[in-house]
Each structure stands twice: as C-alpha cells, then as structure tokens.
Amino acid sequence: MYEGIIKEIKDVENERFERLVKKDRKEEFMQVSRDRNGLIDEFDEELWNTVIEKVKVYEGGKVVVVFKDGIVVERVGDSIR
C-alpha cells in the first residue's frame, strides 16, 4: 500500500514537471514569435528549433512532425492527420 502511494506521488510529480516544461517551451516560442517583425517569409532556424522536436520522413512520402509540446502531425500525400 505504501509503495502504491509513493508511486502515485511520483507519477503526479512527473506529470507536473512535464507540464512545466511544456509551459516553458510555449513561453519561449511566444517570445521568439514576438521578437519577429511581421510575417515570417523565409526559413527561421531559431523558430524551428524552438518549436520542432523531430521530423521523420518515410518512403512513400509519409512525413511525421513531432512538436516540442507533444503534438504529432502526419502527412501522407496531400492529407494531414
């Protein structure tokens, strides 16, 4: 019973930590966005590194983009999931 409670506490602490990390990443993204003047019309490496965790490209044209906040977007051909 004691071990179960300790595990629950650790799980809650881990979830809280993950939320704080996501919040920090969103704030960093917002600051980078505010620092830009106007629309972004060319590749911006700093913005990319702030937002994107990784991109996976597969045979057949499938592309999976994983954002730092955990959102995953898949593109196969012309469709986005």
50 CB burial (10 A radius; 0-12, 13-18, 19+): middle
Segment 45-80, tens digit of pLDDT:
888 888 899 999 998 889 999 988 788 999 887 666
Segment 3-26, tens digit of pLDDT:
888 999 999 999 999 888 888 877
To 10 degrees, the CA torsion angle through 14, 72, 63, 59? 60
Q: 44 is in which domain, residue-wise?
A: 2-80
Total domains in the fold of the chain = 1
Q: State pTM to two decimals.
A: 0.56
